[in-house]
Amino acid sequence: MPAKIRLQRFGKKGAPFYHIVVSDSRAPRDGRYIEKLGIYNPLTKPATIDIDFERSVYWVKVGAQPTDTAKAILSYKGVLYRHHLNVGVVKGAMTQEQADAKFDKWLSEKQAKIEQKSKSVETDSIEMRKAQIEAEKKVRAERDKALQAKRQAEMKAEAKTEDVAEVEEVVADVEEAPVAEETVAVAEETPVAEVEETPAVEDAPVAEEPVAEVEETPAAEEPATEEPKTEE
């Protein structure tokens, strides 16, 4: 039966993790598997790889073909290198002790590199976090500045509105003032008309009395003038 070492995807969208499994190469990708060898989580830094080392070496020995990603994982963990050393021991190129010494040396060097990378990643994470905090402070400061500018603009707008209201009140007072003056003017004109009418009524009888006296005086003298004419 042709076997394959591959990854089986789990997790939600955008946050996947994988099981490292041995399955029949003819089975569907998410179908049943023969054996689970470990897990692989690419979201952590560095990536988390936890596998059963001895069982992985066994499946490689019996001819299970890893996929590209699975092969990279097995190489990273030293499974392929250990299989290579075991083949050398079988062929007589080296003893088991020599193979074990070489693998231990490689494993210690690999572990040192992993630790160094982990420290580097941790340092980068700290620096990244500091940069993120500074960026957040900057954004917060800009937001506060924009909010303060908006408040000042609103205060200016309110002050301008109050000034306009005061001007409108003054204009309304100015427009009402002539109406009051016209009322006063009308009130002042009314007594003047009454004063002019009163002397007109008093002058009429004064003018009539002298005229009557002048007309009556010649009427009394007419008989005296006619008497001398009769004597002639």
Kindly report, residue by residue over 163-222, the tens digit of the pLDDT.
676 766 666 666 665 554 555 444 455 554 444 444 444 444 444 444 444 444 444 444
Q: pTM of the full predicted structure?
A: 0.52
Contact 45, 117 (CB under 8 A): no
Cα separations in angstroms, 207 against 127, 159, 196, 218 = 122, 75, 18, 19
Cα separations in angstroms, 71 against 33, 35, 39, 56, 81 = 18, 17, 14, 11, 11
Count of positions (residues) in the chain: 232
**H and E: helices and strands count for the chain:** 4, 5
Q: pLDDT at position 20, please?
A: 94
- pLDDT, tens digit (0-9, with 9 covering 90-100), for 47-91: 889 999 999 999 999 999 999 999 999 999 999 999 999 999 999
Query: Does the domain made of 3-66+76-113 have the CATH classification 3.10.129.10?
Result: no
Contact 95, 89 (CB under 8 A): yes
Q: pLDDT at position 220, please?
A: 45
Mean pLDDT lowest among 22-31, 43-52, 99-108, 177-186: 177-186
Q: pLDDT at position 172, please?
A: 66
